[in-house]
Structure 1
Amino acid sequence: MCGIAGGVWSANSEPLSRSQLEKMLHAIRHRGPDDYGVYFSASEGNGNENDPPSASAALGHRRLSIIDLSGGRQPLSNEDGTIWVSFNGEIYNYRELRKELIHQGHVFRTDSDTEVIVHLYEEYGVRCVDKMRGMFVFAVWDESRERLLLARDRLGQKPLFYRQESGRLLFASELKAILEVSGIPLQVNRQAIDLYLTYQYIPHPTSILSGFQKLPPASIAVYERNELTVERYWKPPYDDPIEATPAARSEALAELRETLTEAVRLRMRSDVPLGAFLSGGIDSTIIAGLMQSLSEKPVHTFSIGFPVHEYDERAYAREAAKFLGTEHHEFLVDPSALETLSTLIWHYDEPFSDSSAIPTMALSEVTRKIVTVALSGDGSDELFAGYHRYRAVDLAGKADWLPRPVKAALAAKIWQKIPTSTRQRSLGRRAKRFIAALGQSPERRYLRWIGIFDEDSRHNLYTREFQESLDGFDSGDFIDDAYAEYPNRDFLTRTTAVDVLTYLPCDILSKVDIASMCHSLEARSPFLDHHVVELAARMPAEWKYSNGKGKQILIEAFSDLIPESIQNRSKMGFGVPIDHWFRNELKPLMKETLLSDRCLDRGYFRPDALKLMIDEHLNGRWDHSYRLWNLVCLEHWHRVFLEGARPEEAVPV
């Protein structure tokens, strides 16, 4: 696992100097503390005056050594030095690809998966990505064509930011690296703020800063002759469903067992110690169980918990570890984990308010003390209908058959005035959210359920000037576009597909990548092997979800690895007690942040609306914890990235 950076520029535009590239790499040194390297194209500074190059390139790399520890230094080239690559990720089937390429006449100098990319590009061009089974972002510079290829893995496990200017393209694994280039303007994208308040993340390809973009998952970008083209090369095959017959289901069960086992086996390829995250839920227990079945000695497993009981899963993790025979380690997180909030904000580059980033960073830190690679169960909930909210989707689908007057009556605001618990996860709160959305389209109803601020609450919060600056922008288009990808499946399946295309890469995978890489830990997700994803995408909804419960076929396929108590337990999630902390230990942080002149002077939010939200939360009239955390993270992002209040680790040495 590593970090990459670089750029391409035309003869008449500003070049990327070596010192600037080294500053970019220094900003992402946490992603690869073991080594670094740079490459400048042979034409850069050395071109024939009579026939100067039209474009030059620079590639940079920070390395976290996982495979071929003594070789595989990057950037790396083919035999004659005409094709160079800088690569972040893992190609899990590199050994099989290497054999094929050698048979086709290619000569290898290292045992690394990086060199496979070079020869795949020689053989297949920009469609080399079709052959790869892994998580990756890479940049290939083709000297003879003066072409830069940027590519991102199918599910979006690895990030890539870029900025296109006049005659120049800059790119890096993290936004902060590009900001090290001198003269880069810092202008906040106001539409990105609206997106952030909607989703708690900023969806691709948008970035928080104007002029920057994120390469979407399953995409390749080709920069040639000062033109950039972005193309999608893969999508989950939800539009090719398996026929729901008993024989097909039996075959799918066997295939699921075989495919996921193979995905775990491939992800255990490593020249450094590895382990697994273990929450005691179904997903992580299956992955840890498969690892243990493939290992000759106890696998290291890691879990984390909280002193607030309803957020603490350590007992389940202990039970799973004992059942599987792993060597288990567990740790506790308390509010002191937020003492370095600026560090969390700095690592995430953009405003990001999934509060589970806090325990994920803490878990990654303690895990890295023992292993360098950790496998996780990420992706299973989206692929096998594991989230609680899919129950609401199923129930609302039945309610859609009710006459329109009945739905209108149920959605009336009077029901929202009935007193209920203020707890975010209480049955009463969920019932209110469910009823309030019944009058909307199924797509916008789902957005209302998963969103942080719905449309009405956002507009009530914004100042008039900020609202006018959005000029009718609709943050819900991101969800609508994802639903439009698969119009012919049942709505529950379409919704899980939407989460695979949106929430999974933009929230879950971004959270895990940043949290793990800030501690130089590589996180691998077997459920996101594209063969597993393709199989799950084609399965009928009733195989995954029935009688109000998800993951049915997954539990059946791996029942021997899951203790019965865990098979039947309710999903807890990986949240943190922000609601409790904001009423107690973190109350001063919240008030100082959101009611400060610095925050109010930005002109985004109405002071009276902010104060009302804080008062309602502190008085226990409503649980605004997720919204308040969303706003706290946004304000601290401004302080860290626009005002220079950066953590000590961000200061160049």
Structure 2
Amino acid sequence: MGAILGLVGEGSLAELRDMAAPLAPRGRLTRVLTPAAGVLLGQCGHAAAPEGAGTAVGDCQLDNADALRERLAAHGRPDVGGDDADLLGALIGAFGIEGLAHVRGYFSVACWDERERSLTLACDTAGFRLLRFVAMAGRFAFASAYKALLALPDLNPQPDRDAIQYYLAAMHPPLGSTFLAGVSTMTGGEVIVLCEGHWERRRYWTPAVLPVRRTRAGHVAAVREAFLDVVRRKVRPYPRIGFTMSGGLDAPAILAAVRQVKPEAQLVTFTIGSGGSDPEIVGAARVAEHFGTEHHALTFAPESLPQDLPRMIWLMEDCHSREEGLLQFQVMRGTGQQVPVVMAGHGADALLGGMPRHRLIRLAATFPALTGPLTEIYGLTQIGKPPESWLGRLMAYAIYRGREVPPPKVIGAGLGPTVPWPGTVDRAAGKEVLDMPTFRLLEPLHQVEQVHFQTPLRGGLRDQKAILRAALEGLLPPEILLRPKAIQRVRHDQVLSDILDHMADERLTPEAVRQRGLVDPAFVAAVRRRPPGAAYPNEQLYRLWSLVSLETWARQFLDGAGAPAGVSPEGAA
């Protein structure tokens, strides 16, 4: 994985190189283009090219480059040369931004069009190769990571209080925003076109539910064919392939598909958990045994939290309030030392309607009279909004037993986030993926064909997981095929609570919280109350985790302008 960056308007080559310095974990600056006056483009981590040559830079991992060249040849462009970034530029030139909908794979790209005197920025449909951008007086800057933007002297880092409010309520960052005021993120299927000092966001692809009339057997056959085709295309170049494995269904499904389409490949599996009895460890070991993989089981040590949480936040540039992100960070770091490519099933349940929140939507469809209170419970679970009706409050007590902890109010933020009631599981289906910079991560369940084949099933996504299980028959043994959803967790014991408290002692003193000016010190003090010798209850622990993570982020990106505060020199590399 590499990176791209650029300046449009006022800027210098020295500034571009300063921007590239924080991107060193993704590779050194290997390509600099100046396709027009006032346009500077850079590319990191890919094959070097002469400075000034070409009109596009990209961080690309395309699966169908040959098919795209054939499409261009049929359109009268048989002579497209260069790398994948140049190929995408030619595709836009021939078909407009809609031509990008034909791309299979992951990419971010910046393409200069000399005829239109415009620059087009684009990201893949899955949103894996995202770009951060900021518009400032006299110029527009973009990069694969906003730590590069913080190298610019005219970007004064300030917190986006509304985005931080969303994070503290939902326990994950808002789509399309960052915690930095004025710095935004492109989303999957989006382009930005810059021309004559103006810029505009557009979409070349939007996910949609596409009704398809088939028998159940027809749906099963279509999903199986599409799934195997995507996997076949993904693994074609690789003789040795890694997998992050869990105790659930999605990761074993991908492993089984690879065994089916490329039986000669060497398969290496990785998992992480709290010890030998952890269901994740046990379940992954069973899959590894069945398929005869080279298996690696990692044990999460709570003592790793003070070092690895800051490093993950620095690399990801945002925060997550639960342990899944840190566990995936640690297991992916291990995979990056063993294999060049990793396949994973992250976020598949969100796409397939298998998340716990989807049960609320199904319940409302089954019992329409309960839609009101179930909508309130949906808001409580997604953004921490307390229910107002007596039945909603009764349901909340049945779920949390009075242990829920409402999110803090961010000082200076707006009214706080809202979460619309989706109405159907089809509308609720989405994705949430983790994209790490240390290796190539492949997510077959998020490819365009799968979105088209898997969402338009009879009865919506209520039948989704059943259709997927049927499509996997013969690839997985019944004991794995019928597994329920698994959620990665670590032991919420006193050891973890003590370590988190130690981090809070250093980061969240009343004076430090007051000076930061984001939340009320009284809220932090209340969250930190627990009986001596006891562990934090789950919801309280997650609130404290989110506050510790937020202050860690603030020290790195507000105080340190992107410097990896709290990360050892070797950890930042």
TM-score, length of structure 1 as denominator length: 0.77
1:85-96 to 2 correspondences below 5 Å = 85-96=56-67
1:173 Cα deviation after fit: 0.6
Is the 8 Å Cα contact of residues 355 and 575 (structure 1) preserved in structure 2? Answer: yes
2:448 to 519, 530, 548: 530
RMSD: 3.4
- Aligned counterpart in structure 2 of residue 475 of structure 1, from 408, 414, 417: 417
Aligned position for 2:241:
274
- Residue 569 of structure 1 corresponds to 483
Q: Does the 8 A contact of 1:276 with 1:299 survive in 2?
A: no
SS in structure 2 at match of 1:345: helix
Task: Measure the CA separation in 1 of the matches of 2:32 and 2:493.
Answer: 46
Q: SS in structure 2 opposite 1:39?
A: strand
Matched, 1:462 2:405: no
Give the corresponding residue for 1:305.
272
Q: Deviations over 1:437-483 (max 9, x none)?
A: 87799xxx99xx99xx99x923xx337xx2xx234x3411xx43x94
State the distance in 1 between where 2:32 and 2:230 align: 33
In 2, distance between residues paired with 1:320 and 1:627? 34
Pick aligned residue for 2:291 from 315, 324, 328: 324
| Partner of residue 58, structure 1 | 40
Task: Give the whole-Å Cα distance in 2 for the aligned partners of 1:37 and 1:403.
Answer: 55
1:631 matched to 2:573? The reply is no
- Report Cα offsets for 1:175-227 as digits up to 9, x if no partner: 10111122211111111111111222332332211121111221111010111
**Cα distance, 1:76–1:203 mapped onto 2, change above 3 Å:** farther
- Conserved 8 A contact 2:251-2:344: yes
1:614 paired to 2:566: no
The one-letter amino acid of 1:288's match is L
Contact 1:236 1:537 in 2 (8 A): no
For residue 354 of structure 1, report the CA deviation from its aligned partner: 4.1
Aligned to 1:51: none
Distance in structure 2 (CA, Å) of the matches to 1:205 and 1:435: 26
The answer as to 2:103 corresponding to 1:185 is no
Q: How does 1:125-144 map to 2 (within 5 A)?
A: 125-144=96-115
Q: Structure 1 stretch 558-567 or stretch 180-189: which is displaced more? A: 558-567
CA distance in 1, matches of 2:390, 2:132: 39
Answer yes or no: is the 8 Å Cα contact 2:344–2:441 preserved in 1.
Answer: yes
CA distance in 2 between counterparts of 1:438 and 1:391 reads: 20
| Aligned: 1:36 with 2:46 | no
Pair 1:314–1:650, CA change in 2 (3 A): closer
Give 1:48's aligned residue.
Answer: none
Conserved in 2, the CA contact under 8 Å of 1:300 and 1:329? no
- CA–CA distance in structure 2, aligned partners of residues 57 and 395 of structure 1: 54
Once residues 575 and 583 of structure 1 are traced to their aligned partners in structure 2, the CA distance between those partners, rounded to angstroms, is: 14
CA offset digits 1:321-380 (Å, max 9, x no partner): 222233322222211322323222211223443422212121111111221111111342
After superposition, the C-alpha distances for 1:22-71 in whole angstroms (9 at most, x for unaligned) are 222221122236x6221123x43xxxxxxxxxxx211111125xxxxxxx
CA offsets 1:130-162 (integer angstroms, 9 cap, x no match): 221122211112234321101112231222100
Q: Pick one of 348, 353, 369 that aligns with 2:316.
A: 348
Q: Which letter does structure 1 place at the counterpart of 2:270? A: S
Contact 2:8 / 2:40 at 8 angstroms: preserved in 1?
A: yes
**Which secondary structure does the structure 2 equivalent of 1:615 belong to?**
coil
Structure-2 separation of matches of 1:593 and 1:141: 45
Aligned to 1:539: 457
Q: Name the counterpart of 1:647.
A: 567
Residue pair 1:492, 1:541 contacting (<8 A) in 2 also: no
1:241-278 per-residue CA deviation (whole Å, 9 max, x = no partner) reads: 234xxx53221111111111111111113368432222
Residue 111 of structure 2 contacts residue 120 of structure 2 at CA under 8 Å; is this kept in 1?
yes
Q: Is the 8 A contact 1:345 1:633 kept in 2?
A: yes
TM-score, structure 2 as length reference: 0.87
Return 176-185 or 294-303, whichever deviates more.
294-303
Partner Cα distance (2:284, 2:485) in 1: 13
Q: 1:88/1:144 Cα in 2 relative to 1: closer, same or farther (>3 Å)?
A: same
CA deviations on 1:561-611 (whole Å, 9 max, x unpaired) are 223222233322233345654424433223433335212322332333222
Give the distance between the partners of 1:134 and 1:25, measured in 2 at CA: 25
Retained in 2: the 8 A contact 1:264–1:526? yes
Query: Which runs of 5 or more structure 1 residues have no equivalent in the other structure?
Result: 45-55, 65-71, 413-428, 484-489
Give the distance between the partners of 1:541 and 1:595, measured in 2 at CA.
Answer: 52
Q: What is the aligned residue count?
A: 555
Return the alpha-carbon distance in structure 1 between the equivalents of residues 278 and 500 of structure 2. Answer: 17
**Equivalent pair of 1:153/1:218 in contact (CA under 8 Å):** yes
Contact preservation (8 Å) 1:219, 1:230:
yes
Report what 1:423 is aligned to.
Answer: none
**Structure-1 residue corresponding to 2:427:** 494
Amino acid at match of 1:598: A
Q: 1:57 to 1:617 in 2, by over 3 A?
A: farther
Q: Is the 8 A contact 1:6 1:60 kept in 2?
A: yes
Question: Does the 8 A contact of 1:292 with 1:299 survive in 2?
Answer: no
Instruction: Kindly state the Cα deviation for residue 108 of structure 1 after the two structures are TM-superposed.
Output: 4.2
User: What are the ranges of 5 or more consecutive residues in structure 2 without an aligned counterpart?
Assistant: none
In the alignment, residue 283 of structure 1 is paired with which amino acid? D
Label 1:649 to 1:540 Cα distance change in 2 as closer, same or farther (>3 A): farther
> Per the alignment, do residues 578 and 599 of structure 1 end up closer, same or farther by CA in structure 2, a change over 3 Å counting?
farther
Instruction: Kindly provide the CA deviation profile for residues 414-446 of structure 1, in whole angstroms up to 9, marking residues without a partner as x.
Output: xxxxxxxxxxxxxxx99xx999587799xxx99
Q: What letter is aligned with 2:32? A: V
Distance 1:39 1:578, change over 3 A: farther
The match for 1:333 among 285, 300, 307 is 300
Pairs within 5 Å for 1:63-212 = 63=45, 73=48, 84-103=55-74, 104-109=76-81, 112-212=83-183
Query: Equivalent pairs: percent with the same residue?
Result: 24
User: Does the CA contact (< 8 Å) of 1:321 and 1:327 recur in 2?
Assistant: yes
Tell me which amino acid in the other structure corresponds to 2:55: W
CA apart distance, 1:291: 0.9
Q: Is the 8 A contact 2:272 2:280 kept in 1?
A: yes
* Aligned with 1:20 (options 8, 15, 36): 15
Contact 1:582–1:625 at 8 Å: present in 2 too?
no
| Mapped pair 1:292 → 2:252 | no
Deviation, structure 1 residue 171: 0.2
Bigger shift: residues 626-635 or 291-300: 291-300
- 2:200 is aligned to 229
State the SS of the aligned residue for 2:192. Answer: strand
